[in-house]
Amino acid sequence: MENLDKQYVLPTYARNYINFVKGSNATLFDENGNDYIDFTSGIGVVSVGHSNERLSNALCEQAKNIIHISNLYYIEPQAKLAKKIAELSGIEGKTFFANSGAEANEGALKIARKYGEVNGEIKRYKVITLKNSFHGRTITTVKATGQEKMHTSYFGPYPDGFVYADDIADIYNKIDNKTVAVMMELIQGEGGVYPFDKEEVQKLADELKKRDILLIIDEVQTGVYRTGEFLASNLYEIKPDIITMAKGLGGGVPIGAIFTTLDVLSPGDHGSTFGGNYLSTRAGLEVCDILEEYKNSGKLDENFIYFEEKLNEIAKKYPKLFEEVAGLGMMRALRCRGSEVQDIIYKEAHNEKVLVLKAGRNSIRFLPPLTITKDEIKEGFDRFEKVLKRIND
């Protein structure tokens, strides 16, 4: 497999060569029948677990009827998913469907730019983003990402108009008469799992509203129950002008969404060939239904509590390795004492057959399926501890 991959696939990832052939909730099986506990859910994507029966039945049924028509026609599951997003978020807004997180963010930036063109005397186009953020890999979203190391000269020139703030307090210093929007995550994910303070975010949201500056919340990772509520914006009790979603929304089927209360776009302003097609929106609808029920049954919160208990136990037991437990809900990290510790744990975890992620400079990140069972959590942490015991000595 390694040869085939290396001969024909562009080498943009440092890949692990494990050949997974089957998954079941938070458990994966390789070609030799070894089982792995998946604390990654494909980077926050497989929110309802691998081979979820309800999701796979919905997809099969949909595939047998229509997979794709085009946005030139009415698409019933698209309209229903848009309604569901408005209902679950408790925000009166409309949705545009894209195919990925970066693409959703691109669309959000287009909405902001048009808003800045048509509202006010001078064109406002600047968007403030935060240091250590992550917004995607297209040329624009890479530039929106507030990490200097991502703006390599290879891909320049980049679009103008992005301004980086060190933290929320610094956003106020960076505002000028050309500022049209602030774009941020509520919990920085790729940057290392850093939640922002709720009151500080609420104050920012109020202040921006007063100044007619848009608030774009990138919920590509935090959205769709990852933090315990449908949106992290619900948890933070704010009503942003634009919210983007992607990762967990399709349960593994590519989908992105721009959800906005603004009435800015007209026919011809934006579009997507694949975006919002029958298959992806049917997936999104089923995922939302499954997770809404899961949340209402109390199981989601039980999972969060158990997962947190386990992380706290480990942080307490291995103070030589870890500084703290970070994050919210099922978006978690153990902050390691240095990047060497992070690297060793990451590598060794694969050998013990538990999959985890790295984030930022020194975090081991956990993004398990939201439907992970208690047994899977326990088994995963038992395996994880074997790694820790070895390197703790």
Ligand X SMILES: *Cc1c(COP(=O)(O)O)cnc(C)c1O
| Contact set with ligand X (CB under 6 A) | 100-102, 105, 134-136, 185, 189-190, 218, 220-221, 246-247
Judged by beta carbon, residue 221 or residue 260, the one nearer ligand X is 221
Structure tokens at 27: 């458990």
Q: Which is nearer to ligand X, 249 or 334 (CB)?
A: 249
Place of tokens 């004492």: 337
Shortest reach from residue 271's CB to ligand X, in Å: 18
Q: How far apart are CA 132 and CA 188, in angstroms?
A: 8
Q: Give the CA diameter of the chain.
A: 66
Please identify, using beta-carbon distances, which residue of 132 and 371 lies nearer to ligand X. Answer: 132
| Alpha-carbon torsion angle 206, 184, 216, 366, nearest 10 | -110
Structure tokens at 75: 């698409």
Cβ 233 vs Cβ 240: under 8 Å: yes
Helices then strands, counting H and E runs in the chain, come out as 13, 17
User: Based on CB atoms, which residue is closest to ligand X, 208 or 220?
Assistant: 220
- Kindly state the smallest distance separating residue 313's Cβ from ligand X, in Å: 27
Find the shortest distance in angstroms from Cβ 254 to ligand X.
Answer: 8
Q: How far apart are CA 352 and CA 374, in angstroms?
A: 19
- Alpha-carbon distance of 281 to 84, in angstroms, equals 11
Q: Which is nearer to ligand X, 189 or 275 (CB)?
A: 189
Shortest distance in whole angstroms from residue 98 CB to ligand X: 9
Least Å from the CB of residue 336 to ligand X: 20
CB-count burial class (<10 Å; 0-12, 13-18, 19+) for 156: exposed
Q: Cβ-closest residue to ligand X?
A: 101
Minimum gap (Å) between residue 346 Cβ and ligand X: 18
CB of 221 to ligand X, least distance (A): 3
| Burial readout 264-288 (b: 16 or more C-beta within 10 A, e: otherwise) | bbeeeebebebbbbbbbbbbbbbbb
Question: Residue for token digits 């995550």?
Answer: 185
The three-point CA angle 131-135-139 to 5° equals 105
Residue 98: name the closest of 243, 226, 231, 214 by CA. Answer: 243
Minimum distance from residue 258 beta carbon to ligand X (Å): 12
Residue number, 185 or 229, with CB nearest to ligand X = 185
Q: Are the CB atoms for 373 and 37 separated by under 8 Å?
A: no
> In terms of CB distance, is 55 or 249 closer to ligand X?
249
Q: How far is the CB of 135 from ligand X (least distance, A)?
A: 5
Our CB check for ligand X shows the closer of 104 and 264 to be 104
CB nearer ligand X, residue 134 or residue 278: 134
